[in-house]
Amino acid sequence: MNPRVKEVKPLPEYRLRLLFTNGEVRIFDVSPYLSKGVFQELRDLAVFNSVRPFLGSVTWTNGQDICPDTLYLKSISENENTSKKKPKAKFGARHTST
């Protein structure tokens, strides 16, 4: 059994910052779900920002929820999320080997 959600904070770009029962902080991207069924309502930021922890998962005002296992398995470590924002080498940059 995977850890369960203790705390949740909505972030920009339809992401959630999740604190799990094992102490891990992970980031879950909700945007791939926003074109599907009841999750379309989460495009409204007021609704998206209404997210709350509930029984080890998360839920929104209008009743949407996501399986806690999905939240854990499809999220990335907060540290991984930060490292992905580091600038990358530009195309055309020369690399010389010794």
Mean pLDDT of 14-28: 98
Q: How confident is the model at residue 96 (pLDDT cuts 50, 70, 90)?
A: very low
User: What sign results for the dihedral spanned by CA atoms 54, 4, 75, 69?
Assistant: negative
Cβ pair 39, 91 in contact under 8 A: no
User: Of all residues in the chain, what percent carry a pLDDT higher than 90?
Assistant: 78
Q: What are the start-end ranges of the H helices in 20-67?
A: 45-48
Has residue 59 got a pLDDT over 90?
A: yes
Q: Who has greater pLDDT, 94 or 53? A: 53
If you classify domain 5-83 with CATH, what class do you get?
Answer: alpha beta
Confidence (pLDDT) at 81: 64
pTM above 0.85, yes or no: no
